[in-house]
Structure 1
């Protein structure tokens, strides 16, 4: 399935570009993700997804197949497998950055394939869950960029070593999907109520219709 998301961050394009490539720093903004190693091209790590009472853990790698700083376009290919199960996940993520009103507009196109328990939600719900997660990521990223003090190249070289990333809470798909599902259920219930109301009115009209005299 293809998912398309857009968000903006309140920094210049070049700053946003370098921030998004700073995987270890932005990883805490990704629910359930842990980065174990990053060499500038390949990311090794894990993602935990909670489906009801069951927690599914994926381990895998993500490789930057393209990092074009001139046009601010990156392509990331990620793949993972359940640590205890046969489910798999694979995604090709294409991100493009462009200047907008003094900030940066980020467009993300994801070609996603999922097998196993998370796939039970279907494309529609996964797309809406993706919208919510991207919104959370964008807000987190914007906050981190706002808090980040500008450092020159020399200061960055002298910056202290980053602390180890803490174990994140698993991404709860049921909780994330609850609002989209509730919205759909509410819409269906409203439509059903209208049908019932119309049917009742038709019945009453039929019962009260006067009999014509011959």
Structure 2
């Protein structure tokens, strides 16, 4: 399926371009995502998706196939596989930036292929959820771009977990915090959630029915 999203950020286009290529800086704005490693071209990490009682984790990589500084255009190819299942996700994301009224307009085109449990919700639900997630990302990115690049106030200490390996050795390593999965029911909103809930309920009933049959034949 093909998805198209647009949003604006309140900074000049060159600043927005540098920020979007700064994976360490924008990683916390990516809903459900955890970045484990980044070498300047390839991002390794995971994305968690929650549908009712079911949580699916995709692990994989995202590779910058194109970074055109003059045209402010990037192409990112991401591949992931369920850690507990056969489902897969593949996306080719093309982003272009353009100056608009002193800020930057960001256009994102995504060619997405998903197999497994989330795929059964169909293009309409996935598109609506995508709209919500891109909106959350844009709001978070705008807030981060308005923050000073260096903090002057002390930072509260956090419990360290597996460290993020930065592509920039001179940048302090930031400890990662547990990431909440993308909750499709909550993100989609009531109208869409009702349609998703029907699918989830059907899947759960089918699973229960299969288990009952297996027990009877055991």
TM-score bracket relative to the smaller structure:
0.7 to 0.9
In our comparison, the structure showing a higher alpha carbon Rg is 1
Q: Residues 103 and 78 of structure 1: is their aligned pair in 2 closer, same or farther, counting only changes over 3 Å?
A: same
Q: Residues 130 and 65 of structure 1: is their aligned pair in 2 closer, same or farther, counting only changes over 3 Å?
A: same
Question: 2: CA distance between counterparts of 1:85 and 1:36?
Answer: 21
Q: Which residue of 2 aligns with 1:170?
A: 181
Shift of 1:94: 0.0
Shift of 1:162: 3.8
Corresponding residue SS for 2:175? coil
Corresponding residue SS for 2:85? coil
Question: 1: CA distance between counterparts of 2:101 and 2:116?
Answer: 42
What runs of 5+ residues in structure 2 fail to find an aligned partner?
152-167, 196-218
Q: Which residue of 1 aligns with 2:36?
A: 36
**Count of residues in Structure 1 that have an aligned counterpart in Structure 2:** 180
Q: Residues 42 and 127 of structure 1: is their aligned pair in 2 closer, same or farther, counting only changes over 3 Å?
A: same
Matches within 5 A, 1:52-67: 52-67=52-67
* Deviates further, 166-175 or 99-108: 166-175
Contact 1:125 1:180 in 2 (8 A): no
Q: Which residue of 2 aligns with 1:132?
A: 132
TM-score scaled to structure 1, two decimals? Answer: 0.79
Contact 1:128 1:180 in 2 (8 A): no
Q: Deviations over 1:63-97 (max 9, x none)?
A: 00000000000000000000000000000000000
Question: 2: CA distance between counterparts of 1:136 and 1:130?
Answer: 10
* Deviates further, 168-177 or 77-86: 168-177
Corresponding residue SS for 1:36? strand
Q: Residues 159 and 180 of structure 1: is their aligned pair in 2 closer, same or farther, counting only changes over 3 Å?
A: farther
Shift of 1:159: 7.2
Question: 1: CA distance between counterparts of 2:39 and 2:171?
Answer: 18
Name segments (4+ residues, structure 1) moved above 3 Å.
157-160
TM-score scaled to structure 2, two decimals? Answer: 0.78
Q: Which residue of 2 aligns with 1:71?
A: 71
Matches within 5 A, 1:16-165: 16-149=16-149, 161-165=172-176
Q: Residues 182 and 87 of structure 1: is their aligned pair in 2 closer, same or farther, counting only changes over 3 Å?
A: closer
Alignment RMSD: 2.2
Q: Residues 98 and 80 of structure 1: is their aligned pair in 2 closer, same or farther, counting only changes over 3 Å?
A: same
Question: 2: CA distance between counterparts of 1:38 and 1:158?
Answer: 11
192, 203, 214: which is aligned to 1:181? 192
Question: 1: CA distance between counterparts of 2:138 and 2:61?
Answer: 23
Q: Deviations over 1:19-71 (max 9, x none)?
A: 00111211111111000000110000001111110111110000000000000
What runs of 5+ residues in structure 1 fail to find an aligned partner?
152-156, 185-214
